[in-house]
Amino acid sequence: MDLKELAANALAQNKKAALLVGAAGAALLGFGLGYKYMRKPEKAVRVGVVSQILIHPLKSGKAVPVSVAECQKMGLKAGELEDRHWLVVTEEGNMVTARQEPRLVLVSLSCQGGYAALNGPDMEELKFPVKQPENHILDCRVFSKDIQGRDCGDKASHWLTTFLGGEKTFRLVHYEPHMKPRRPAESEPLFPQFEKVAYPDYGPIMLLSEASVKDLSSKLDQEVTTERFRPSIVIGDCEPFDEDSWEEIQIGSVRLQRVMSCGRCILTTVDPETGVMSRKEPLETLKSYRLCKPSEKHIYKKAPLFGQLHTVKKTGVLHVGAEVYKITS
């Protein structure tokens, strides 16, 4: 075969390949357009309004109400405050919450100008730098899962130890961006494998409605407030337990995806105003009417359900007063 024939054959093969590629491309384009128009459009139904945004910088500490917050993948952030990024631990690095030390709910942690401040009843305010790179990084455990935290120093340790009674030594640690996060799926398989958190129990966002709290209060001798249940976002202008059915919601530019209900424990019996644990109410009343279906007992066991745990599907900014939409297709 001479050079002319080789050249002619090569040209013919290239034309054939080009035609095949073009046909395949057209088919893919047609499929994509077809899928776009075959897919059911989303529907947004107004279900309520954001009535409160609460950031809990210190796990088990006082909530900080804010009017505006960034909704990030790992939870809420307002200014220098990030939700559940501070943790009290024992000297061995085990987490300490209000389940073990009820008076922790009286401790407030704030941040401004690069300094954190601890405040509590009958205690002088303690300020210390948020960033202390010379301090040790401690290996900690939250629900038996490993996570790190930057030790906040001996003065913060002494403050907490004094406030909580002085019998045991406590230390304060801070989660920093470069540290390895926890994966909720390691403790609760319903969470996606890629989800990450710092010190929350499970999910980055817990959502609860005002109406659900009022419904519970109507069954109690003494009313309770939303703060007792430590939600991130409180929804108004809806019916009790409507939030149970919101699988996906849109608030402004933020998209949240429900993962599971929030199973409640002894922490709900700690009064956020006094730091006293009753060990009874409102937990006993919740158990009387908010237990899971028999088919879900392997997930929630005997814990009553109150509030919903969400992951952040799309980040953005949340505002008090923003309308909440349930997304359906």
**pLDDT tens profile 16-26:** 444 443 444 44
Rg (CA), the chain: 26
Contact 169, 156 (CB under 8 A): no
Residue 36 domain-assigned (yes or no) = no
Does residue 296 lie in a domain region? yes
Question: Do the domain assignments include residue 13?
Answer: no
Listed in sequence order, the residues at least 6 apart from 73 whose beta carbon sits closer than 8 Å to its beta carbon are 196, 204, 312, 315
Q: Considering the domain boundaries, does residue 170 fall inside one? A: yes
Higher pLDDT, residue 38 or 118:
118
Residue 61 predicted with pLDDT over 80: yes
The answer to whether residue 292 is domain-embedded is yes
Q: Which domain holds residue 237?
A: 44-328
Question: For residue 282, is the peptide bond before it cis, meaning its omega torsion is within 30 degrees of 0?
Answer: yes
- Domain assignment present for residue 192? The answer is yes
Write down the pLDDT at residue 23: 45
Give the CB-side neighbour count of residue 152, counting CA atoms within 13 A. Answer: 29
Does residue 220 lie within any of the structural domains? yes
* pLDDT higher than threshold 80 for residue 36: no
pLDDT digits (tens, 9 = 90+) for 287-313: 999 999 999 999 999 999 999 999 999
Average pLDDT of the chain to the nearest whole number = 91
Number of domains the chain is built from: 1
Q: What is the mean pLDDT of residues 75-84?
A: 98
Distance (Å) of CA 265 to CA 47, 132, 190, 299: 28, 35, 19, 14
Q: Does residue 2 register a pLDDT over 80?
A: no
Bridge pairing between strands 305-314 and 254-263: antiparallel
d(CA 289, CA 281): 13
Report the pLDDT value the prediction gives residue 329, as an integer from 0 to 100: 85
Q: Are the beta carbons of 189 and 298 closer than 8 angstroms? A: no
pTM of the model: 0.88
- pLDDT tens digits for range 254-291: 999 999 999 999 999 999 999 999 999 999 999 999 99
pLDDT of residue 166: 76
207-211-217-218 Cα dihedral, nearest 10 degrees: -160
pLDDT at position 39, please?
62
Amino acid at 21: V
Give the 3-state secondary structure percentages of the chain, helix then strand then coil, rounded to 5.
25, 35, 40
- Note the pLDDT tens digit of each residue in 159-172: 999 999 978 999 99
Predicted local confidence at residue 170, as pLDDT: 98
Alpha carbon distance 94, 253 (integer Å):
37
The whole-angstrom separation of Cα 148 and Cα 277 is 29
pLDDT tens digits, one per residue of 224-249: 999 999 999 999 999 999 999 999 99
Task: Check residue 38 and give its pLDDT.
Answer: 54
Is 14 part of a structural domain of the chain?
no
**Residue 145's domain is classified under what CATH number?**
2.40.33.20
